[in-house]
Amino acid sequence: MTHLYEDLITVLKKEYDLCVELVELLKKEKEVVVRLDAQELETLLRDKEMVTYKIKGCDEKRQRILEQMGFENLKISDLALRSDGPYKLRLMELADDFTEVIKTIRDLNRINSRLIAKSLHYIKTSYNFLATFNIKPKERFSVEA
């Protein structure tokens, strides 16, 4: 079972690193939304999609390892409490790290959602203002939309 703990910790570290990468992308997204840079926003969305795809892969691998250990659907902190020796401390540290990074992701997502909603409101208001003068701005649609 020792090798399963090692495999689990390896996957968790990789997943954590991907979450940190996602945090950096979300911070950058905030700046891009404020600047209304549509092209860079599309690039960021693709990058976020790739990172979340990799996180999902780690999550699936983690679940398979937990099943092999007989601990399906167990939180990291709960697994740490059931563990002994050096694994207990390492798992507790990872559980704390994940708690912090997930909170940061949640906060950044909330901020970015509000910024995007405000940006859309400003765009719609500007579009309606121009329409009152019979000015029809060219519409550009993203291929991904």
Q: Which domains does the chain have, with CATH numbers?
A: 2-131 (1.20.58.300)
User: How many H-runs (helices) and E-runs (strands) does the chain carry?
Assistant: 4, 0
Q: Which residues contact 36 (CB under 8 A, 6 or more apart)?
A: 119
Structure tokens at 91: 């798992």
Q: Is the pLDDT of residue 143 over 50?
A: no
Higher per-residue confidence, 21 vs 41 = 21
3 state DSSP class of 90: helix
| HSE-CB for 100 with a 13 A CA cutoff | 9
Tell me the Cα Rg of the chain. Answer: 21
Structural contact between residues 9 and 58, judged by C-beta atoms closer than 8 angstroms: no
Tell me the pLDDT tens digit for each residue of 104-118: 999 999 999 998 888
Residue 62: pLDDT band with limits 50, 70, 90: very high
- Which of these, 66, 82, 69, lies nearest to 12 by C-alpha position? 66
Q: Which of 28-37, 69-78, 96-105 has the highest mean pLDDT?
A: 96-105
- 104 vs 126, higher pLDDT: 104
Q: What pLDDT does 145 receive?
A: 44
Residue 29: pLDDT band with limits 50, 70, 90: very high
* 67-88: pLDDT as tens digits: 999 998 889 999 999 988 889 9
